Amino acid sequence: MTEPRGVLLMAYGTPASLDEVEAYYTHIRHGRPPTPELLADLKARYQAIGGVSPLNDITRRQAAALQARLDAIDGPGRWRVFLGMKHTRPFIQDIVREMAASGVKTAVTLVLAPHYSTMSVKSYQTAADQAAAEAGPRLWHVDSWHLQPQFLQALAERVTAALARLSAGAPSDGAVSDGRSAPSASDGTPGGTPATVIFSAHSLPERILEADDPYPRQLRETGEAVARLAGVTDYTFAWQSAGRTDDRWLGPDILDVIRQLAGQGRRRLVVCPAGFVADHLEVLYDVDIDCQRLAAELGVQLVRTASLNDDPLFIAGLADVVRARAARGDHDE
Annotated binding residues for Fe-coproporphyrin III, as ranges? 12, 29, 45-46, 53, 124
Q: Cite the annotated binding site for Fe(2+) by residue number.
A: 202, 282
158 contact partners, CB below 8 Å, separation of at least 6: 178, 180, 272, 305, 306, 308
Instruction: Strands of 93-227 (E only): list them.
Output: 106-111, 138-141, 195-202
CB of 51 to ligand HT9, least distance (A): 12
How far is 79 from 286, CA to CA, in rounded Å?
A: 36
Interaction site with ligand HT9 (CB under 6 A):
12, 14, 25, 28-29, 42, 53, 55, 113, 119-120, 202, 204, 243-245, 275, 280-282
**136 or 275: whose CB is closer to ligand HT9?**
275
In whole angstroms, the minimum distance from the beta carbon of 32 to ligand HT9 comes to 8
The least CB distance from residue 295 to ligand HT9, in Å, is 21
Residue 205 Cβ vs ligand HT9, minimum distance, rounded to whole Å:
6
Nearest to 148 by CA among 272, 331, 323: 323
Nearest residue (CB) to ligand HT9, 165 versus 280? 280
Measured distance CA(125)–CA(127) in Å, rounded: 5
Separation between Cα atoms, residue 269 and residue 267, nearest integer Å: 7
Min. distance of Cβ 191 from ligand HT9 in angstroms?
A: 38
> Which of 136, 131, 130, 127 has the alpha carbon at shortest distance from 101?
136
Collapsing DSSP states into helix, strand and coil, what is residue 222?
helix
Cβ proximity to ligand HT9: between 128 and 261 the closer is: 128
CB of 294 to ligand HT9, least distance (A): 17
Nearer to ligand HT9, 40 or 72 (CB): 40
For ligand HT9, give the closer residue by CB, 53 or 196. 53
User: Quick one: which of 99, 110, 111, 108 has its CA closest to 136?
Assistant: 99
How many helices and strands (H and E) does the chain possess? 11, 8
Residue 165 or 202 having the CB closest to ligand HT9? 202
Minimum Å gap between C-beta 273 and ligand HT9 is 10
> Which residues contact residue 156 at a Cβ distance below 8 angstroms, ignoring those fewer than 6 apart?
226, 229, 230
- Which CB, 47 or 245, lies closer to ligand HT9? 245
> 61: how many CB neighbours lie within 10 A of its CB?
15
Cβ–Cβ < 8 Å for 272, 160: no
Q: 137 preceded by cis ω (within 30°)?
A: yes
The residue among 146 and 202 lying less far from ligand HT9, judged by its C-beta, is 202
State the minimum distance, in angstroms, from the CB of residue 113 to ligand HT9. 4
Cα-based torsion angle of the residue sequence 57, 12, 139, 30 in order, rounded to the nearest 10 degrees: -140
Q: Is 296 exposed, middle or buried (0-12, 13-18, 19+ CB in 10 A)?
A: middle
**Residues within the annotated binding site?**
12, 29, 45-46, 53, 124, 202, 282
